[in-house]
A and B are shown apart, each in its own frame.
Chain A
Amino acid sequence: MMRLPKLAVSSPESIEEAAGLLAELGDRAVVLSGGTDLIPNLKRHQLTVDTVVLLGRIDDLEGIRVEDDAVHIGARTTLRAIVDSELVPPVVARAAGEVASPTIQNQGTIGGNLCVDTRCFWLNVTDLWRQAAEPCLKADGDTCWVAPAKQHCWAVSSSDLAPVLVALDSSVTLVGSGGTRTMPLADLYVDDGIAYLTKSPDEIITAVTIPIDRGLDVTYHKLRRRGSVDFPILGVAAAVRRDDAGVCTEARIVLGAVASAPLRAVEAEAALVGEPFGAASIAAAAEAARKLARPLYNTDLTSRYRKRMVPVFVRRALEELAAR
């Protein structure tokens, strides 16, 4: 069995205390919630910290409630609770149920899934392997082995919930040593495999807010090799609003796992808006999404295949909505 490095464990009683600890310890500390992503990463020495900050003693981080035409989900709420919830939009429950495997869903949390570290097969390996390959950019080396010509990390955004929640126009609340702020979830992400989150290291996500929008049709299609366990190697979240005449009035298409952040397919959306929602506009949107996506060979299956699947998955997602 791989061993965890020696770690100090802090268990603050309030979110402010937790944020204060993180501000004090800087990059020597990290938040541990469900741990399904962090623990294996620590065992593989992908990050070196000396303290983990637990959130278990802090009240109000867990639970799902509806208030002011929105669903509020505490960051520490497990994926299982979301899968089983009748309060969340069905697409959110479905996407939570597509994360990893049932056992991981029992343990993993929504906050953890939104912050899940970007992934790459040159990175998610042991010290021995990284030593054999020479450490990559994200492992404090000098070169990205996926695209050695550029000093950029292409590790993949691997959250299933992020594309869905961005398509639902969700927002996140963060508490840091400087106070509390709420921002659109889309603004949490940056297309950079190393600095993939905009939150400052001392900020902790406390809640996710999903507006209740019954006029919006939303779905999520995930590409992965097996029916369980695997991370997405492409995710397509699509949200469409139609008027009574069947003309698309609003669309959000978000691609997961083809870049280091969830990718808004703006041109694909533009191909839909103002058009009758049907085969012609769907085909145009699928083609626009294909042009946007530039997956690289750093996760399962070839990059060429994953790119090829972008229009297929966008089309299938939109066709599913058109059939509703």
Chain B
Amino acid sequence: MSGRGRGHGAVGRAAGRVDSLGQVTGRTIYADDLMLPRTVTAKLLRSPHAHARIVKVDTTAAAAHPGVHAVLVGTDLPIKYGILPVSQDENALAIEKVRYVGEPVAAVAAADPETADEALALIEVEYEALPDVTSIEEALDPSHPLIHGEGTGANVDRETSLEFGDVKEGFAQADHIQEDTYFFQGNTHAALEPHATVASMGDDGRLTVWSSTQVPHYLHRILAKVLELPAGQIRVIATAVGGGFGGKTDIFSHEIVAARLARTVGRPVKITLTREDVFYAHRGRHPVLMKVRTGFTTEGRITAMSFRSYLDGGAYGSYGAASLLYTGQLQTTTYSIPRYQFQGVRVFTNKPPCGPKRGHGTPQGRFAIEAHLDRAAEALGIDPVALRRRNLVEPFSHTVNHLRITSCGLAECLDRVTEASSFDDKHTSLPAGRGIGVAVGAYLSGAGFPIYFNDMPQSEVMLKVDRGGGVTVFSMAADCGQGSTTMLATVVAEVLGLEPGDLSVVTADTDLTPIDLGSYSSRVTFMAGNAALEAAQRLLEEVLEAVAAELGVDTDLLSAEDGSIIVDDNPDKGVTWTEAVQLAMAQSGALVTSGSYKTPEGISGRYRGAGVGPTPAYSYTACVAEVTCDPDTGFVTVDQVWLAHDIGKALNPLLAEGQIEGSVHMALGEVLMEEQAFLRNGLHRGPSLLDYKIPTILEMPPVESFIIETDDPEGPFGAKEVGQGALLPVIPAVVNAVHDALGIRIDETPVRPDTVVTALADLAKGGSGRVGPTSLPDHEFPPLYRVEPPANSPGAAS
């Protein structure tokens, strides 16, 4: 059917975004730009304690301060919430206890920001400090106080303990067993735009909330819950998002507080976070301690793998239950692993909550297994590329943990980057101080299941046509910078034979647009794209039927092309698009269609934990990084990155390359410098963009991108995800390159200059030249839950 709309090449054309003019001229309206009449400013009072009991909050003086409109404390918003149904553990403002430095405790709405600051200073909070828990080791030590709950005990949030096939048997078949431990440091999104929310009561008594969010639908649900309002009384509008990266996929204190204050004050309320606030709001990459053990045959075939992860979750659940599973579930999507064991635990600590950041939970595990495979290759005397090739997953197969693999261009990705970089010639052969490394990865094209269980579509798109021929696309997809608005216009334009720039796209407004669950898990191109495709095909069908009736030809002979409906083999007989839609309206009235997308059955297993990891299609990535290391200073300079990304089909190659380059930049920050680190007492090491080191343009190497197109059978025009998967292999590729350059093993991120110097000093003294975790915390995992591998998987009984 998609052949019907031949279009004229909107899909596959490298074109600018449909909304870029406003962005590059500074005219795009972000949440903080909104200026409603009579707006008051709100601010949050934050905890100076990592862990303390709130004895008393006295707001008398603040409330009496001239210019103050309202003061809120925790008990004003008593209903707990959380993004996942299993983790309803947050209050918008802390009640009874604070659990990290920076946690919101009270809020004020005042005439202007200065008055709000003065009022915050007048709020008296009496705290009773409690011993804090700030590391994974402390959290698992039962003698420490519980962060959630009373008394002492292990601060376990969630854990998992899964075995796929007989792992012991798998290891028994191994000729070589490799075992390593790794630590991946936490880091944060650091989007350019700090979060902001404006809330206002309409004259109809309904509440409207504008917020810089990637998930307007989830914000809508949680506002309804916490404010105890019918959802129909709330309208959520996601404003233009100045960078998300997962940092705006949770529901934040300031969003709920702004909404609550707007109801109390009766005037519009605006809250804009400071940069420091954003570091405390966080929900970024979890610090993860990991142990990987893999059995290999002499030829390098994997016989079994066991993977253990310990996640430092910070003070609240957030997306943590999913993050935990993501650290271990996708290892099997790149390599054919016949027996697999995965145990993981996420702990609470007195630090800002961790959550999803680009690659959600998978970069940590990917770093570990790709560095681990390099070590195994060395031990087995096999080239690292050959070892990977020997174990690549089969396209259109199932993994041992019941994930469904469809299109897979991993082998081609690996070929392209190793050829372009001359990897085989350079590896172990570059001059001292220079090195090259390789790694691969895979990522979801959308989480297979919604955050809250339901049988409804994950995405719906509605199209409405104007009498003048104008087409408006309605979708709740919130463009967080990834270009989803452009994607929607491109898909619809392709089918209708129009230009993407001619379409109007209305997004992310719960009053106007049909459901999309949000911009997370790289789901929008696949899911909203498919919904848009279906809506456009239905629209075209209606239009063609009307034209066919008018012209007296068979609809099969008609095509939409260049703003016209043409008759095949008879170019003189067509009608313009505008004439065509008027014919359709004359025939059947309003020209409105919709499409929807729901993930197919059979993409996951049925065990507890099986819901995290499945997706309708995985993207695949391979990366080679070449580095120069200064052995005196320990500085690592990345000279070039080659990255191949199997994204099924590039709907817009320019945007796809932009996603790849952005991923490389973010990955280089994570591997070389960025860390959400803490001093004593849960004090952030430096909540500013001066102290939190992000690579500048001077640190950014040339990136050679390769888009690999495997034409996924279920993706819109064959497309899969782009932009999260591309981050994954960069981190281990750099770490592996540093080993190739200097002979040291840095088994932790970031690879800082002082870390490198320490490792080199150890090597010079005859040590192993390794820096990384030396032990694992004492923790007994629950008994393994045994799952038998599915048929058509590497672990299937033969």
Q: Tell me the minimal C-beta distance from B105 to chain A in angstroms.
A: 11
- Hey, what's the 0/1 contact readout for B667-683 against A, CB within 8 Å counting as 1? 00000010000010101
Interfacial chain A residues near B124, Cβ < 8 Å:
none
- Hey, what's the 0/1 contact readout for A17-58 against B, CB within 8 Å counting as 1? 000000000000000000000000000000000000000000
Q: Pick out which of these stretches binds chain A: B203-211, B694-702, B769-777.
A: B694-702
Per the 8 Å Cβ criterion, residues 675-728 of B in contact with A are 679, 681, 683-688, 690-691, 693, 695-696, 698-699
Q: Tell me the minimal C-beta distance from A90 to chain B in angstroms.
A: 21
Which of A3, A132, A301 sits near B683, CB closer than 8 Å?
Answer: A132
Contact present for A2 and B698 (CB under 8 Å): no
- Hey, what's the 0/1 contact readout for B730-762 against A, CB within 8 Å counting as 1? 000000000000000000000011100100000
Contact present for B49 and A132 (CB under 8 Å): yes
Determine chain B's interface SS by DSSP, over half rule: loop
Answer yes or no: B113 CB below 8 A from chain A CBs. yes
Contact present for A133 and B683 (CB under 8 Å): yes
Per the 8 Å Cβ criterion, residues 125-145 of A in contact with B are 125-126, 128-129, 131-133
Which of B114, B272, B693 sits near A225, CB closer than 8 Å?
Answer: B693
Contact present for A128 and B757 (CB under 8 Å): no
Contact present for A129 and B693 (CB under 8 Å): no
Contact present for B114 and A132 (CB under 8 Å): no
Q: From B117, which residue of chain A is reached at the shortest CB distance?
A: A3
Q: Tell me the minimal C-beta distance from B683 to chain A in angstroms.
A: 6
Per the 8 Å Cβ criterion, residues 108-134 of B in contact with A are 113-114, 117
Answer yes or no: B569 CB below 8 A from chain A CBs. no
Known contacts A3-B113, A132-B683; A312/B46 CB under 8 A: no
Answer yes or no: A291 CB below 8 A from chain B CBs. no
Number of A residues with CB within 8 Å of any CB on chain B = 31
Per the 8 Å Cβ criterion, residues 89-112 of B in contact with A are 101-102
Which of A101, A226, A228, A302 sits near B754, CB closer than 8 Å?
Answer: A302
Contact present for B681 and A126 (CB under 8 Å): no
- Hey, what's the 0/1 contact readout for A295-324 against B, CB within 8 Å counting as 1? 000001110110011001000100000000
Contact present for B687 and A3 (CB under 8 Å): no
Contact present for B754 and A305 (CB under 8 Å): yes
Which of B48, B272, B752 sits near A131, CB closer than 8 Å?
Answer: B48
Per the 8 Å Cβ criterion, residues 192-209 of B in contact with A are none
* Complex: A1 Cα to B270 Cα, angstroms: 13
Contact present for B633 and A312 (CB under 8 Å): yes
Which of B101, B633, B679 sits near A309, CB closer than 8 Å?
Answer: B633
Answer yes or no: A183 CB below 8 A from chain B CBs. no
Contact present for B681 and A300 (CB under 8 Å): no
Contact present for B632 and A121 (CB under 8 Å): no
* Complex: A133 Cα to B696 Cα, angstroms: 30
Contact present for B691 and A129 (CB under 8 Å): no
Answer yes or no: A229 CB below 8 A from chain B CBs. yes
Contact present for B695 and A129 (CB under 8 Å): no
Interfacial chain B residues near A225, Cβ < 8 Å:
673, 693, 753
Q: From A223, which residue of chain B is reached at the shortest CB distance?
A: B633
Per the 8 Å Cβ criterion, residues 284-300 of A in contact with B are 300
Contact present for B754 and A304 (CB under 8 Å): yes
* Complex: A226 Cα to B361 Cα, angstroms: 27
Number of B residues with CB within 8 Å of any CB on chain A = 35
Answer yes or no: B276 CB below 8 A from chain A CBs. yes
Answer yes or no: B88 CB below 8 A from chain A CBs. no
Interfacial chain B residues near A101, Cβ < 8 Å:
696
Answer yes or no: B274 CB below 8 A from chain A CBs. yes
Interfacial chain B residues near A304, Cβ < 8 Å:
754
Contact present for A226 and B696 (CB under 8 Å): yes
Contact present for B49 and A226 (CB under 8 Å): no
Contact present for A226 and B272 (CB under 8 Å): no
* Complex: A226 Cα to B46 Cα, angstroms: 31
Contact present for B114 and A3 (CB under 8 Å): yes
- Hey, what's the 0/1 contact readout for A264-299 against B, CB within 8 Å counting as 1? 000000000000000000000000000000000000
Interfacial chain A residues near B46, Cβ < 8 Å:
128
Contact present for A227 and B699 (CB under 8 Å): yes
Which of B50, B272, B673 sits near A1, CB closer than 8 Å?
Answer: B272
Contact present for A301 and B754 (CB under 8 Å): yes
Answer yes or no: A6 CB below 8 A from chain B CBs. yes
Per the 8 Å Cβ criterion, residues 2-59 of B in contact with A are 46, 48-50
Contact present for B276 and A128 (CB under 8 Å): yes
Answer yes or no: A230 CB below 8 A from chain B CBs. yes
Contact present for B757 and A300 (CB under 8 Å): no
Contact present for A132 and B753 (CB under 8 Å): no
Interfacial chain B residues near A126, Cβ < 8 Å:
276, 687
Contact present for A128 and B48 (CB under 8 Å): yes
Contact present for B113 and A229 (CB under 8 Å): no
- Hey, what's the 0/1 contact readout for B622-639 against A, CB within 8 Å counting as 1? 000000000011100000
* Complex: A131 Cα to B683 Cα, angstroms: 11
Q: From B276, which residue of chain A is reached at the shortest CB distance?
A: A126
Contact present for A301 and B687 (CB under 8 Å): no
* Complex: A312 Cα to B754 Cα, angstroms: 13
Interfacial chain B residues near A309, Cβ < 8 Å:
633
Q: Tell me the minimal C-beta distance from B707 to chain A in angstroms.
A: 30
Interfacial chain A residues near B686, Cβ < 8 Å:
121, 125
* Complex: A223 Cα to B753 Cα, angstroms: 11
Interfacial chain A residues near B114, Cβ < 8 Å:
3, 6
Q: Tell me the minimal C-beta distance from B121 to chain A in angstroms.
A: 9
* Complex: A126 Cα to B102 Cα, angstroms: 11
Known contacts A129-B683, A312-B633; A305/B757 CB under 8 A: yes
Known contacts A126-B276, A132-B49; A226/B693 CB under 8 A: yes
Q: From B686, which residue of chain A is reached at the shortest CB distance?
A: A121
Interfacial chain B residues near A229, Cβ < 8 Å:
690, 696
Contact present for B699 and A121 (CB under 8 Å): no
Q: From A315, which residue of chain B is reached at the shortest CB distance?
A: B632
Known contacts A1-B272, A300-B691, A309-B633; A228/B683 CB under 8 A: no
Q: From A4, which residue of chain B is reached at the shortest CB distance?
A: B114
Interfacial chain A residues near B101, Cβ < 8 Å:
128-129, 132
Contact present for A228 and B632 (CB under 8 Å): no
Contact present for A301 and B690 (CB under 8 Å): no
- Hey, what's the 0/1 contact readout for B598-619 against A, CB within 8 Å counting as 1? 0000000000000000000000
Q: Tell me the minimal C-beta distance from A203 to chain B in angstroms.
A: 29
Q: Tell me the minimal C-beta distance from A308 to chain B in angstroms.
A: 6
Contact present for A129 and B687 (CB under 8 Å): yes
Contact present for A132 and B117 (CB under 8 Å): no
* Complex: A304 Cα to B758 Cα, angstroms: 10
Contact present for B49 and A301 (CB under 8 Å): no
Which of A1, A223, A226 sits near B274, CB closer than 8 Å?
Answer: A1
* Complex: A201 Cα to B193 Cα, angstroms: 39
Q: From A228, which residue of chain B is reached at the shortest CB distance?
A: B696
* Complex: A302 Cα to B755 Cα, angstroms: 10
Q: Tell me the minimal C-beta distance from A284 to chain B in angstroms.
A: 18
Contact present for A227 and B698 (CB under 8 Å): yes
Which of B48, B274, B699 sits near A2, CB closer than 8 Å?
Answer: B274
* Complex: A131 Cα to B276 Cα, angstroms: 14
Per the 8 Å Cβ criterion, residues 211-259 of A in contact with B are 223, 225-231
Q: From B121, which residue of chain A is reached at the shortest CB distance?
A: A127
Interfacial chain A residues near B48, Cβ < 8 Å:
128, 131-132
Contact present for A226 and B698 (CB under 8 Å): yes
Which of A129, A133, A230 sits near B276, CB closer than 8 Å?
Answer: A129
Known contacts A131-B48, A133-B681; A228/B698 CB under 8 A: yes
Contact present for B685 and A121 (CB under 8 Å): yes
The 3 closest A-B pairs by CB, nearest first: A227-B698, A305-B754, A132-B48
Further contacts, 12 of them, CB under 8 A, given A131-B48, A301-B754: A2-B274, A3-B117, A121-B686, A126-B687, A132-B101, A225-B753, A226-B673, A226-B695, A228-B696, A230-B690, A230-B693, A305-B757
Show 22 A/B contacts (Cβ-Cβ < 8 Å), sorted by A.
A3-B114, A6-B114, A121-B685, A124-B688, A124-B690, A125-B686, A128-B48, A129-B276, A132-B681, A226-B698, A227-B696, A227-B698, A227-B699, A229-B690, A230-B693, A231-B690, A301-B752, A302-B754, A304-B754, A305-B757, A308-B757, A309-B633
